[in-house]
Every structure is written in structure tokens, then in C-alpha cells.
Amino acid sequence: MSKQKKQKLVTPEIFHQAVIGSFTKLNPRYMMKNPVMFVVEIGFFITLVLSFFPNLFGDVGSNLRAYNIIVSVILFVTVLFANFAESVAEGRGKAQAASLKKTQKETSARLLCEDGTEKTVLSNELKKGDVVMVSAGEIIPGDGEVIEGIASVDESAITGESAPVVRESGGDFCSVTGGTTVVSDWLKIRITSEPGNSFLDRMIALVEGASRKKTPNEIALNTLLVSLTIIFMIVIVTLYPIGVYSGVQLQISTLIALAVCLIPTTIGGLLSAIGIAGMDRVTRFNVIAMSGKAVEACGDVDTMILDKTGTITFGNRLAADFIPVGGADRRDLLRCAALTSLQDTTPEGKSTLELARKLGDTSGEIPGSTFQEFTAQTRMSGIDLPDGTKIRKGAAEAIEQYVKELGGKIPADLHEQVDRISGLGGTPLSVCEGNRILGVIYLKDTVKPGMVERFNRLRAIGIKTIMCTGDNPLTAATIAKEAGVDGFIAECKPEDKIDVIKKEQAEGKIVAMTGDGTNDAPALAQANVGLAMNSGTTAAKEAANMVDLDSDPTKILEVVEIGKQLLITRGSLTTFSIANDIAKYFAIIPAMFMMAIPQLGVLNIMHLATPYSAILSALIFNALIIPSLIPLAMKGVKYRPMSSGKILARNMLIYGVGGVITPFIGIKLIDMIISPILNAMGMSFMGL
């Protein structure tokens, strides 16, 4: 699997663009999309007006103009920092989009006309349905499907993987992407996309965030933040008459400062950045998410549907054991199996030789020997030695027939071993030397290393895994037990995948699945999270809401963890933001009322210097905490597989308690810094 690409959090280019974006996003029409920060911006405009007309609302107090100016500046900086956080996240996406755009070269295409002649046109002139020829060294001009030919294609410009892949007509490996290069041979390709709507075009638009929409969870959180904001606004409005009744003249700018400090500005300023960063994070794993909703849905997955072949297993039947029959010596079986595999380049042949070597066989090629390749007619392969000895390996029935023709006998225990291996879901290959059968090679579809641990990891966070396979129930049960999945569907057809997805969804569960073939397209479309392989068909990629550029089906396990990390990050920062309000409450409320109600001084547990410095310290801390948390919002809270209850308890302990303690320390330090400055300005005991 591709490793996550390392990137700097903020490059000079991203920083420059983020600074510009911080100011352009001040447009009220844009700010209205973020209600919490829109309230802060309104507060800034009101205090800005009060900076020029300090007595507009009947406020009284010395140095009132200077106080309003300071509050205005802090509020303005608070909004800028929130915009900066979002702009940094967008800048990361745009930087990746710029790298993708470099692969969009304006190339010539060899268009095949109806009369069979070729016509050279520009790639942007190609239409859906056109047929083009691409030879070695040429760039594929657009997305399409191979209708004739077979060739190696370099997809490194798209996937980052240097090894070429084979593309051919028919099957699930006929899809090609515009901008990739044919390395060898030639391909006849039918274009499947209109100009400007290729897979690469869509990737660029998605990475830039143009198609990003708020997810249901994000909408729900926004609703919560708006509700909290409205509640605090009502509380603050009622404070004014309470202050008048208590003999305290509260300045409008002070009430605005209190509102900004108590509403959840921290998470409000970082919410968009967290969502954009989630899409950016999967992109760095070479997965293109069609929407933020797809990434977030990964975090809520309850059931995962996985194909067996190529996902859980290697897909090739590899040698697992050598079983002698008829009293044959195991060393003779190893020797003959190795000799027949010396020039066998199939996965079965290579694994047979490798296993024989591990078990101690050292047989080498004998000069003068002739290798006999496997054919569909003989169903066996082997080697003819210089002394006339013929050694063969192949299907059990074919070897039996071959030995009988040479006058040999069939060992009594051969059928027993062949049936046992078949019953386990394996493939038995018999080996004979001359007219004597020596034993059986046990071939099995091997489970990939680490799969048991991966499924245990998913089980720990409450995700059920279901394996789909076309194998018989006995073979499916054997592989399922070895891999450690929670369930399996044997002799599975496309309709069966859709049925199991619908059944799980009917129970209120979120379902994810992987696929690469046209027959997987309906199930990929039905699943909440459909991860299609870039090597798969166009139908599969269009049906899914995620595309893995590396075509690694097991990557869905990492994608799920990224989704979990996105939700945990949002929850952690929300907890931290709300917990912040407790400390700000103890900083501002006593400062506002203890002049008229000295008994409230007991709440001034931070022992802040003056009421004025207390309010400004809380306001400055509120502004500074947003950029301080940008790295955490972008990188994400570290994810550890555990139950939802444990995750909640951990968040409450770290981000809840931390969210209470941090402001106490931060506000106190800021107060110690600014109080001497305020004393020098003669603003220590200004009426509030």
C-alpha cells in the first residue's frame, strides 16, 4: 500500500494565499455561511462604529474610545484567524490540484475515422465515443476503455506508483486514464468522457474543494453551535437590565466582548478547516473522495463488505505443503517438484520452488534437460532429463491418466489426499517421476499477512466484516476462519452483494465496500461508502464515491480510520471549545460586576489585575487559540481503535479538562503582560 505522503503543514505559497483569503472571506455574504463567526464580525462592526462615536448608545467612561478601538482590533483579528484556518486547509487542496494540473498536457491524438484512416487532432477536441490509437511512448489523450490490444501503461503521473500496469481489452482492467503514458505495444481506445469532464478534471475540482458540501453531522454540529450562540446572546441581552438594576453601567463593547468569548468561536472558526482537511487527508493516501460526506461516512461505518480475491487473499493459489503418497520419500517429492518448477514462471510454479527451497531442497537445473510447458490439452507441465526420465506435475486426473499409460499403478492413498485438499478449498497438483506418483502439492489461496490483525482492529471499534466470494461454502468457510472475518457469503453473485448491503442498511447501519468490476457497480452505488479501484472499469469508478488511485482494495481499512479521525477531531475540538467557556466565565463575569457587588470577587479565582485587563485578556486568548489549534485541526487527533464509550471518556479527560485548564493559564499570562501596559495608559479602573 502507498505510504502517506509527507507534506509541510504550511508552505510559503500556501501561507501567502491563506493571508489573502483571510481578507477576501470577510465579505458578509460569505461569512453568513458560518453563523458563529458572522456574529463576531457583526460585533466588530458595532465596536468599530463605537470607536468613532463612543457615546452613541449612552455609554460613559474614561478612555472609552481607546477601549472600543482595542476591542475592535481584537475582534477583527479573531475573524481573520478563523478565515486563515479555512484558507490554509483550502490552500493544501489547491496545491495538490496544481500538481495534478501538471499532468494535463495538451497532446495530439490519433483519431480513427469511420473509413479506417487516422486523423491527428488535439486531445481537447475528442468527444465521447471517439476511437483513438495510442502506441508506445505516447500519452493517452483522454479517459477511455481499451477495445483492442494489450500494453503496459505508466500511471505514475496520476497514482505516484512507478511500476507500469497492464491494460487490455475486456475484463476489469480495460479502463485507462487521460494523461497516462503507454510504455509498450499499442492500444485502441474508445473515449468515455466529454472534454473538461475527464476523471482528472473531476479530481482537480474535488481536490480544490469546489464540490464540497456540508455533511449531515457537520450540519447537526452547526445547528448546535447556532443554538448555543442564540442562547448566549439571549443571556447577554438580559445582562444589561440586570446590570442597571445592580447599579453597574455595562458598556456595549463589553457585552460584545462577553458574547464573543462565551459563544463557541473556537470550533466555529475551525469547523470548515476540519472538513476540508479530512478530504485532504485521504488525498494524501492517494484516495480521491467525491465529497466530504464520503469521508465522514467512513467514520460511521458499521459493516464492511470485502471481496475475497485480491483483497483478503493474494488471488493466486500458492504452494502450502508437499504430501507424499504410496510410501514415497518426501525428499524425492521435493526434488521432483522443484525440478518441474525451475522454469515455471506462473505464481504456482514460483511458489512451489520457493517452498521447496525453504524445506531444504537444493536441486538445480541439469544441463541437457528440456522443460515442458503447461497446455490446456495435457493439463500438466514438467521436465525431461538427459537420461530419459520424465517428471511431471499437474491436475490429479491428468497425472493419473499419464501414469496409467506408462504402465504405472495409482497409490491407494492418492484419492484420499486429493479429496482432503479439495475439501479444504485448495488445489491438488500431483507429481510423478516416470510411471510412479510421488505425492501431491497443496496449493491454496493464501491470506495476506496482517489481515487477522486488521480485522481485529476493526472489530475493536465495532465494525463487522463480511467476505464475499464465488467459492463453494467449504472453501469460503476455510478462508473466512483463517482471515478472521465475522461472516462470509459463498457462491456470491452481484445481486447477493446488493441484498446484504440493503439488509444491513435496513437495520440502520452504515455500509462500506470495495470493488473494481462492472458487476460491482450496483453494489458500490448502493453502499454508503463505495471505494472503487482506479484499475477497474469506468462503471465502477462512476458508481463509487471514492476512488483509490493505487488500486489497493485493503486501503479501505485505512480510509475508515481517516473517517473516524475526522469525527474524533471534530468532537475533540468541540469539547475543548465549550470547555473554554468555563474559564472565560470566571474571568469576565466577576470583572463586570465585582465593582458594584464586591462579594463576586470570590469568583475571581485567577486574581486578574483589573476588570479591564480581565476582559481584554479573555478576548485576546479567544482570538489566539484559533490559530494555535490549526495544526491539530489539519493533522487530526491521533486515532486509536477503541469503543465509542472509551473514545468519549478519553476526549472528556484530555480535551474537556484541558479545555478548562488551558484558558486559566493563558488568560492569567496575558493579564500579567497587558496589565502594566494598561496601567501606563491610565485605563486600569475604567468604568465598565
**Residues placed in the known binding site:** 344, 348, 374-381, 393, 516, 520
How far is it, in rounded angstroms, from Cα 158 to Cα 99? 10
Ramachandran category for residue 483: left, alpha or beta (phi over 0 → left; psi -120 to 50 → alpha): alpha
**Coil, helix or strand for 374?**
coil
How far is it, in rounded angstroms, from Cα 54 to Cα 555? 60
Torsion of CA 524, 525, 526, 532, to 10 degrees: 20
How far is it, in rounded angstroms, from Cα 80 to Cα 24? 10
Half-sphere exposure of 461 (CA within 13 A, CB side): 25
How far is it, in rounded angstroms, from Cα 2 to Cα 164? 15
**Residues placed in the known binding site for Mg(2+):** 516, 520
Q: 451: how many CB neighbours lie within 10 A of its CB?
A: 20
Using alpha carbons, list the distances in angstroms from residue 221 to 80, 121, 210, 626. 22, 51, 22, 18
How far is it, in rounded angstroms, from Cα 200 to Cα 584? 48
621, containing H or E segment: helix 611-628
Concatenate the DSSP letters of all residues of 80-92 into one string.
HHHHHHHHHHHHH
302 an active-site residue? Answer: no
Ramachandran category for residue 56: left, alpha or beta (phi over 0 → left; psi -120 to 50 → alpha): alpha
**Residues placed in the known binding site for ATP:** 344, 348, 374-381, 393
Catalytic-role residue among 307, 445, 471, 581: 307
Cβ atoms of 416 and 450 within 8 Å: the answer is: no
Q: 653: how many CB neighbours lie within 10 A of its CB?
A: 11
Concatenate the DSSP letters of all residues of 560-584 into one string.
HHHHHHHHHHHHHHHHHHHHHHHHH
How far is it, in rounded angstroms, from Cα 197 to Cα 128? 10
C-alpha cell at 331: 525428499
How far is it, in rounded angstroms, from Cα 63 to Cα 128? 71
φ, ψ for residue 113, nearest 5 deg: -80, 165
Q: Enter the DSSP assignment of 599.
A: G
Residues tagged active-site: 307
